[in-house]
Structure 1
Amino acid sequence: MEKNEVTESPVTTDGDIDTSAPARTLWGDAWSRLRRNKLAIFGAVWIVLMILVALTADLWVPQTLGSPTEADSTTMTQDSRLPPSPEHPFGTDTLGRDVLCRVIYGARISLAVGVLATAISTIIGLVMGALAAYYGGIWDTIIMRLADIFLAFPYILFVIAMLAVIGPGIQNVFIAIGILGWPSIARVFRSAILSVKENDYVDAARAMGASDARIVARHIFPNSVASIVVYATMNIGGAILTESALSYLGMGVVPPDPSWGIMIQDGQTYLATQPWLMLMPGLAILTTVLAFTLLGDGLRDALDVKMKDA
């Protein structure tokens, strides 16, 4: 029986097993612990809210706040850098565009880059980590030394160098972040596999003739996935920060497409006189990254099988 399928059968007062009681699983216990973590639930709610607002933006934002990219030249002068008001809750930028509108559409880009880049790096890291840990030997040496080479370079500079070769743009951003982010995930997954691959149920599967691919996918991966879920969740926040930094430096999203990093770069000139131009996208980055961090921290505690219920 696999570790993540262990169930408990409560015993009645007369010594018989109570088969009517619901079985407990690792994921069921994790959800029960996660629900009691208020900060993690707050982070999850904020992430869901951001996703819903970003996905439904086309249905209501242009009609109420205007276009996030186009500026009206006839009203640009009187609408430029207006302070927050009921009509423009986050104020307007230099071209008279609504800042809240651009923050909402910028969330699309940031969340897309965070999720897609993390998905790419996670897939590559899982494959590399599995090869290194399960087969060991020369595979382990080659993959881990390759990971050391990647980790030896400053991450943000490595991404900038790659974008200088393949060019800026939203697609190239998440490709670069995803490809260069796999070494840390490979190391985490490798250590997780090494801790479970010598267990009895793995030896039993191998003795029954199960293929290597089946052993990894059916027996090792489910019992190692908890650490990857936690790490990937926190990595999304890191990818959002990286995308914002690249856009701030002019290596990410190409204007006039809205990006939180571009908005901060545009608003820094007016920090003393119109601080909302820089503070509003900065708060969007802060709250979103913090939400993913809180959720990841809560998942780490919830998926820790050594933790006992209070």
Structure 2
Amino acid sequence: MTRPGTAATVMGITMILAVVLFSLLYPLLPGYDPYAQQLAAAFVRPFTDGRYPLGTDSLGRDLASRLALAGRITLGLVLVIVLVNAVIGMAIGTVSGYFRGVTDNVLMGVADIQLAVPMTLVIMAVSAIRGPSTALMATILGVTFWVGYARVARSVALGLSGRDFVIAPKLLGARSGWVMRKHVLGHVTAPVLILATADLGNVLIMISSFDYLGLGVQPPTPSWGLMITDGQKYLRQAPYLTIVPAVALLLVIGGTLLASRRFTDEGQGLRRARRASRTGRGALAKEVTA
């Protein structure tokens, strides 16, 4: 008997792997050049020429080559941004939940302020002043989405701070940093990783949106969002210029949603079981005292 969500997880991982392997392996084929222009070969349709399996754009550039390079750039940015935010959020949330009190109030106050700042407007404003760039977008997004991770880590750390295996080392003189590393972080990591998996698709949408608006990756470097923007100019003449990168985006976003579904369902089931267990113990206690 398969566990709930297993089929969806396998399908999601397969979708993601298909795009990742294409992005990594296609450049190994001979003739790979995402920047070479052949105006005589402009607007070659997909699957009509062996040299250009996914067709060419308005400048005769190989669409498959550009899609693969865009995949490496876009997915690389997504992984770095999610990893940085997860580490920052996990550190802040763990410290906040472990120490409680003033430390918790200050750090969660900073988190509330962070949520109140519209990062999209910040990126647009800074881009207007300094000019759009990949580094600028990645830097701002790299310190923007940590609040969700911090709250998850804080919730776990709060629940652990009163447990015997956390209190005992402190009574014996162990430093707080050692206690957090040895007895708290291990419990915090799993839920943070689950959130990070689900967040991959959200960050991918955000990056592609900024690229689409011209605030991220700049031509001639390709990205999926930028390729969709360029393809819109020729939507009637060559709709595949928009469809191909859009399909790549949908595969990865859909894959992350499916891949994280099982862990999300298991987490919800575990929470329901804990609530039922507490309710059952409460009912039993009432019967005993009655």
Q: Shorter chain as normaliser: what TM range? A: 0.7 to 0.9
- Change beyond 3 A, Cα 1:155–1:172: closer
- Alignment-derived partner of residue 9 in structure 1: none
Counterpart contact for 1:132–1:190, Cα < 8 Å: yes
Q: 2: CA distance between counterparts of 1:239 and 1:164?
A: 22
Unmatched segments (≥5 aa) in structure 2 = 274-290
- Alignment-derived partner of residue 43 in structure 2: 81
Q: 2: CA distance between counterparts of 1:115 and 1:254?
A: 20
- Change beyond 3 A, Cα 1:102–1:70: same
Aligned runs of 1:12-31 on 2, under 5 Å?
none
Determine if the alignment matches structure 1 residue 54 to structure 2 residue 23.
yes
- Alignment-derived partner of residue 71 in structure 1: 37
Q: 2: CA distance between counterparts of 1:206 and 1:161?
A: 47
Q: 2: CA distance between counterparts of 1:266 and 1:235?
A: 27
Determine if the alignment matches structure 1 residue 133 to structure 2 residue 102.
no
Q: Which letter maps to 1:70?
A: A
Q: Which letter maps to 2:90?
A: L
Determine if the alignment matches structure 1 residue 177 to structure 2 residue 141.
yes
Alpha-carbon deviation of 1:114?
0.7
Aligned runs of 1:246-265 on 2, under 5 Å?
246-265=210-229
Counterpart contact for 1:89–1:100, Cα < 8 Å: yes
Q: 2: CA distance between counterparts of 1:138 and 1:70?
A: 59
Determine if the alignment matches structure 1 residue 45 to structure 2 residue 14.
yes
- Alignment-derived partner of residue 269 in structure 1: 233
Counterpart contact for 1:84–1:90, Cα < 8 Å: yes
- Alignment-derived partner of residue 224 in structure 1: 188
Counterpart contact for 2:16–2:251, Cα < 8 Å: no
Q: 1: CA distance between counterparts of 2:79 and 2:236?
A: 34
Residues 218-272 of structure 1: per-residue CA shift (max 9 Å, x gap): 1112122221011111222222111111111111111111100110100112223
Counterpart contact for 2:45–2:56, Cα < 8 Å: yes
Q: Which letter maps to 2:41?
A: D
Residues 149-208 of structure 1: per-residue CA shift (max 9 Å, x gap): 111133433333344556533333322211111122112211121122222221223233
Give the % identical residues.
Answer: 30
Q: 2: CA distance between counterparts of 1:165 and 1:293?
A: 36
Runs of at least 4 residues off by over 4 Å: 162-167, 302-305
Unmatched segments (≥5 aa) in structure 1 = 1-31
Q: Which has the higher helix share?
A: 2
- Alignment-derived partner of residue 26 in structure 1: none
Residues 264-309 of structure 1: per-residue CA shift (max 9 Å, x gap): 100112223321111111111111111112212223335678389x
Counterpart contact for 1:120–1:175, Cα < 8 Å: no
Alpha-carbon deviation of 1:209?
2.9
Helix, strand or coil at the partner of 2:167: helix
- Alignment-derived partner of residue 24 in structure 1: none
- Alignment-derived partner of residue 166 in structure 2: 202
- Change beyond 3 A, Cα 1:47–1:166: farther
Helix, strand or coil at the partner of 1:139: helix
Q: Which letter maps to 1:151?
A: L
Q: 2: CA distance between counterparts of 1:292 and 1:159?
A: 26
- Alignment-derived partner of residue 19 in structure 1: none
Aligned length: 269
